[in-house]
Amino acid sequence: MEELENVGVDDLDGLEDRKCPECGCTRLVRDYDRAEVICASCGLVVDDHLIDPGPEWRAFDSEQREQRQRGGAPMTYTIHDKGLSTVIDWRDKDIYGTSLKPSRRSQMYRLRKWNRRARMSDSSDRNLSFALAEIDRIAAQLRLARNVKEAASMVYRRTVEKKLIRGRSIESVAASALYVACRQLSVPRTLEEIASVTKVDKKEIGRSYRFLARELGIKLAPTSPIDYVPRFASALKLPGKVQAMAIEILSQAIDEGLTSGRGPMGVAAAALYVSAVMNDEQRTQREVAEVARVTEVTVRNRYKEIIEHLGLALE
DNA sequence: AAGACGAAAGTGGTTGA
DNA sequence: TCAACAACTTTCGTCTT
């Protein structure tokens, strides 16, 4: 039991010198359950198709067998039946590869039909499978890690169970679920980013997000600007020390109350800008504003507040 | 010429009566 | 439901490098 705790995740062997291409940090983590290498800071899936080198445990009793056996696909919340159901193959061949007789073929056709119907019995199931595919698509385009997708799927399931989807489009709820999941796991994506890979616009996602948060009783701490730093820094190709200083600046700014009521992206952008200038890694306000998806003016206003309240001087 | 700065007016969303 | 309001954006002109 104890040794099993260390088997799946967090194996850092050979990963120490690899960097996350997105944020440049070295906090890469292997997840054998999902066969992925993910970045612990920004949630990017760095590598998939990982081969599980874990030991084939010998099992001495049924309890151990249950825990140690590795057979079948992992259970997942991202497939509407959790990936556990039986699917009848569509090929009209038997296990030897020879074609089926016509009578058999029509029998198989009927079996497949009922198999399909049994799997997607009611409308909420069909809704689910559609939505989960959508979550999968969006998450893939934003290169989000598997655990985010799982969390989003859970949120969506709860939404369906509480019958809250009526009137709202599946896509907007799926997008919101993903947004919630991102924030829960501290790998925030902006509404804009999610909206950019969706037909739904930002405002609509925001609306259903607030609705979900209220109805499902999800309490989310307001996004910390710090969570955005790694991603913005990497987009600007800023070295680690700039990132570190930006985070330092931000935690002071938070203590000073400079962040309350302010848009976290704007604050994060300003801190990065200040930090970049102080480290001789100057970026233009325009560049910083761009990656944070705010305007130069906002960056300016925030960074003015920062240098004046923290007593920092540029040059 | 490009970037930084600031003023002023406009926009979308929240809040409180 | 409406108005007040703060944060943020847009736009544009001026100053600095």
pLDDT (tens digit per residue) in A165-184: 777 888 888 988 998 888 88
Which of A55 and A78 is assigned the larger pLDDT?
A78
In this structure, how many other beta carbons lie within 10 angstroms of the beta carbon of residue A91? Answer: 9
Of A185, A216, A247, the domain-final residue: A216
In this structure, how many other beta carbons lie within 10 angstroms of the beta carbon of residue A13? Answer: 7
Q: What is the mean pLDDT of residues A284-304?
A: 88
**Does residue A293 belong to any structural domain of this protein?**
yes
- Burial class, A124, CB count within 10 angstroms (exposed 0-12 / middle 13-18 / buried 19+): middle
- CATH code of the domain in which A129 resides: 1.10.472.10
Instruction: Compute the distance between CA of residue A208 and CA of residue A164 in angstroms, rounded to an integer.
Output: 10
**Does residue A91 belong to any structural domain of this protein?**
no
> Of all residues in chain A, what percent are helix, strand and coil, respectively (each to 5)?
50, 5, 45
Instruction: Compute the distance between CA of residue A63 and CA of residue A136 in angstroms, rounded to an integer.
Output: 34
Q: Which residue has the least CA–C1' distance to nucleotide B14?
A: A261
Q: Which residue has the least CA–C1' distance to nucleotide B6?
A: A297
> Of A47-56, A170-179, A226-235, which gets the smallest average pLDDT?
A47-56
Tell whether A212 and A241 lie within a shared domain: no
For a pLDDT cut of 70, what percent of chain A falls above it?
66
Instruction: Compute the distance between CA of residue A222 and CA of residue A22 in angstroms, rounded to an integer.
Output: 24
Enter the DSSP assignment of A99.
B
Q: Per-residue pLDDT for A5 more than 50? A: no
Of A149, A182, A216, the domain-final residue: A216
Closest nucleotide (C1' vs CA) to A202 is B12
Q: How distant is C1' of B16 from CA of A204, in Å? A: 24
Q: How many domains does chain A have?
A: 3
Q: How distant is C1' of B1 from CA of A282, in Å? A: 18
> Of A39-48, A239-248, A287-296, which gets the smallest average pLDDT?
A39-48
Q: How confident is the model at residue A305 (pLDDT cuts 50, 70, 90)?
A: confident
Tell whether A200 and A267 lie within a shared domain: no
CB-proximal positions of chain B, under 7 Å = 2-8, 12-14
Q: Which domain holds residue A280?
A: 225-310
A295 touches strand C (CB under 7 A): yes
**Does residue A300 belong to any structural domain of this protein?**
yes
Q: How distant is C1' of B11 from CA of A195, in Å? A: 19
Q: Per-residue pLDDT for A64 more than 50? A: yes
Which of A203 and A125 is assigned the larger pLDDT?
A203
Q: Per-residue pLDDT for A115 more than 80? A: no
Q: What is the mean pLDDT of chain A?
A: 75
**Does residue A25 belong to any structural domain of this protein?**
yes
Instruction: Compute the distance between CA of residue A190 and CA of residue A205 in angstroms, rounded to an integer.
Output: 11
Which of A43 and A235 is assigned the larger pLDDT?
A235
Of A161, A186, A216, the domain-final residue: A216
Q: What is the mean pLDDT of residues A41-57?
A: 58
